[in-house]
A and B are shown apart, each in its own frame.
Chain A
């Protein structure tokens, strides 16, 4: 419901159709947003009436948040710093978060797998990967 309110606010700033006989480009998303809000309200209503379900598993653990942070940093610096360095660092970061501490083995496996992916994309598939400022 909150999401639909935010999205609906986004549609109000639209300039509307360019020509008189055009359909307003925001009309279709607006209809979807209203439906989303209505169904959200229905689901919330059902939730209030239903018996609360207990779960011991939290939505985000320290590990999942850590991996998500590594992934966001990876995506953010992937192009500016380059594929090779960021990929190796991301692999090492994720493995360390997961609790693996055999650094030499981890570093070797990370470098080898990143080199293999790089060779496959650049030489076999001819798809350039970003080299960035550090490669």
Chain B
């Protein structure tokens, strides 16, 4: 039975608040170190939750999850290296803003956007659990495939000026994701008879390589400079000014929040795909889409609101159906079961106090992250004062150790370096690394969705029907066509106006 007195008493317990604060700080640090992630943070903290009450355990893990999603934006902004895969889009505008000397504003934008997204996700978790869980049940392999195709339409945005180069980069990423075992039959591909490549190219080390190594090599070219970035100018009332600018662009936060919640509840999609969709949609709705990628607030707001809204969204199917919407939610599902809590209808009736203490507690957790973030921003912004040569050595050492720490595998380190060198060549050839990263992230999900849909279509005796007649698929196909059509129309009108 739901008892608000019990919930209030649970949430006012000083030990609970202390555990939440410690876990949120741990989460921020885990997110901020490239190579480590919220999933790893939750897994590391799991043994420590066995001796506390179930609601405290859930709040500890939830705080790590929320903290890590925010933490990922810090290295994305400061050193152009996403702390987590979901923070990849934050590099597009966050780092250029830091290069301009506005690192503090960029970090504050990411912080406010993260809190907004977190609260948006929790609101969805509290009020939309029931109806949205029904929608997620209609999500099958075909929808997974079409969602990836829709997310791929962002290539047009990422490769401003040369879509062909963007498509080539994305194809390289998609091909790289084919290395390893076939997702359906398990047959090895492009493994060159080595056992280490059977598991495929790990996405996180590859992302570290694609973003960190080219940056470090660029720093090398600028050797002698005291820092990679312009020194940040201390602006008066920067917190309030950022908050005011954030409120002026609140529609971007709305777009990010809605995309985050919807993609979050789709099983297996997760924050990595959601942020690309949110960034693309924010750019499409913007009056100045050409400014995206040059270091504007909207470019940080959309992905940061989105990846934090995914936290709430991903937990809706986890709590209601036992289907995790993201990798950290999958580890949390394990924690839920370890504490004897079974997801589903009974959880919301018999254990309602625990579930609602957790959901409402996440609001408190996000508020704590706001204050912790304000402290961490001051600390991390000092990184800008580090001379270029120390920064270069730190990026490379952290990159190698970060890649190794994921699976304790030498192959991850080698793939990180390989991707780094490819990334450097791509940047020098004006291809950019973002389309390749997008292809690599979406590749396995896209292929799995495509092949499973083919198999299911064959089993039903109507492959075309399976791909094109399901209602959720039709919505995604419509969105893909709209997105592509809009990009083509924009390109044509831009060329026309350039001729005039």
Cross-chain contact A90 with B217 (CB below 8 angstroms):
no
Cross-chain contact A39 with B397 (CB below 8 angstroms):
no
Cross-chain contact B171 with A39 (CB below 8 angstroms):
yes
Query: With the chains together, A126 CA to B174 CA distance in Å?
Result: 34
Query: With the chains together, A80 CA to B14 CA distance in Å?
Result: 48
- Which residues of chain A have C-beta atoms less than 8 A from B165's C-beta? 43
Residue in contact with B450 in the complex, picked from A28, A64, A83, A128, CB distance below 8 Å? A28
Interface 9-mer from B115-123, B196-204, B343-351, B405-413: B405-413
Interface 9-mer from B180-188, B296-304, B487-495: B180-188
B2 at interface (Cβ–Cβ under 8 A)? no
A111 at interface (Cβ–Cβ under 8 A)? no
Closest to A36 in B: B171
Cross-chain contact B396 with A90 (CB below 8 angstroms):
yes
Please give the number of chain B residues whose Cβ is less than 8 angstroms from any Cβ of chain A in the complex: 52
Cross-chain contact A25 with B185 (CB below 8 angstroms):
yes
A5 at interface (Cβ–Cβ under 8 A)? no
- Which residues of chain B have C-beta atoms less than 8 A from A67's C-beta? 216-217, 220, 396
Cross-chain contact A14 with B393 (CB below 8 angstroms):
no
Cross-chain contact B413 with A75 (CB below 8 angstroms):
yes
Residue in contact with A64 in the complex, picked from B220, B393, B410, CB distance below 8 Å? B220
Would A68 and B421 be within 8 Å (CB), given that A98-B223, A121-B401 are in contact? yes
Query: With the chains together, A71 CA to B405 CA distance in Å?
Result: 17
Please give the number of chain A residues whose Cβ is less than 8 angstroms from any Cβ of chain B in the complex: 57
Cross-chain contact A113 with B394 (CB below 8 angstroms):
yes
- Which residues of chain B have C-beta atoms less than 8 A from A11's C-beta? 189
- Which residues of chain A have C-beta atoms less than 8 A from B392's C-beta? 94, 98
Query: With the chains together, A98 CA to B220 CA distance in Å?
Result: 7
Cross-chain contact A91 with B393 (CB below 8 angstroms):
yes
Closest to B181 in A: A25
**B389 CB to nearest A CB, Å:** 5
Kindly supply a per-residue 1/0 record for chain B positions 141-152, scoring 1 wherever the CB is within 8 Å of any chain A CB and 0 otherwise: 000000000000
A52 at interface (Cβ–Cβ under 8 A)? no
- Within A105-124, the residues touching B (CB, 8 Å) are 109-110, 113-114, 117, 121
Cross-chain contact A39 with B396 (CB below 8 angstroms):
no
Cross-chain contact B401 with A117 (CB below 8 angstroms):
yes
B24 at interface (Cβ–Cβ under 8 A)? no
Cross-chain contact B178 with A14 (CB below 8 angstroms):
no
**B71 CB to nearest A CB, Å:** 14
Would A91 and B397 be within 8 Å (CB), given that A22-B185, A121-B405 are in contact? yes
- Which residues of chain A have C-beta atoms less than 8 A from B428's C-beta? 59
Would A75 and B414 be within 8 Å (CB), given that A40-B168, A42-B164 are in contact? yes
**B364 CB to nearest A CB, Å:** 25
Query: With the chains together, A93 CA to B393 CA distance in Å?
Result: 10
Closest to B223 in A: A98
Query: With the chains together, A64 CA to B468 CA distance in Å?
Result: 50
Residue in contact with B397 in the complex, picked from A10, A22, A87, A98, CB distance below 8 Å? A87
Kindly supply a per-residue 1/0 record for chain B positions 162-173, scoring 1 wherever the CB is within 8 Å of any chain A CB and 0 otherwise: 001101100110
Query: What 10 A-B pairs come out closest when comparing CB atoms?
Result: A25-B182, A25-B187, A29-B178, A75-B413, A127-B405, A36-B171, A91-B393, A98-B223, A79-B410, A39-B168
Given A63-B221, A71-B396, A129-B401, 15 extra CB contacts under 8 A:
A11-B189, A17-B187, A21-B458, A28-B447, A32-B175, A43-B165, A63-B223, A71-B213, A71-B417, A72-B417, A78-B410, A83-B401, A90-B396, A94-B389, A117-B398
Interface residues of A (CB under 8 A from B): 7, 10-11, 14-15, 17-18, 21-23, 25-26, 28-29, 32-33, 35-36, 39-40, 42-43, 46, 57, 59, 61, 63-64, 67-68, 71-72, 74-75, 78-79, 83, 87, 90-91, 94-95, 98-100, 109-110, 113-114, 117, 121, 125-130
